[in-house]
């Protein structure tokens, strides 16, 4: 979600970026699309995925921001 909230990506680019098997990436994208979190645009034979709307993109940014502030605190044993 972090990548598709920043721009459009096809499955091949996402596979390379995250280092996961192509079928796994395709399945995740399908589920995210069914949930209404990503949209797809066709460009010839390629399908380009992107976070659906500004609200979803802002939500992803907020979640990543919260996670980045919480993980180091838990790693040293201090309360969140």
23-74 residue pLDDT tens: 999 999 999 999 999 999 999 999 999 999 888 989 888 988 888 877 555 5
Residue whose C-alpha is closest to residue 4's, from 69, 78, 41, 66: 41
State the greatest distance between any 2 C-alpha atoms of the chain, in Å, as a whole number: 52
The predicted pLDDT at position 76 comes to 55
DSSP 46: E
């Amino acid at each position: 979600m972090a990548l598709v909230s920043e721009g459009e990506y096809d499955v091949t680019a996402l596979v390379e970026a995250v280092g996961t098997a192509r079928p796994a990436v395709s399945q995740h994208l399908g589920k995210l699309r069914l949930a209404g979190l990503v949209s797809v645009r066709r460009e010839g034979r390629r399908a380009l995925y992107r976070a659906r709307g500004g609200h979803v993109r802002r939500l992803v940014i907020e979640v990543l921001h919260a996670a980045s502030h919480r993980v180091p605190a838990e790693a040293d044993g201090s309360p969140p």
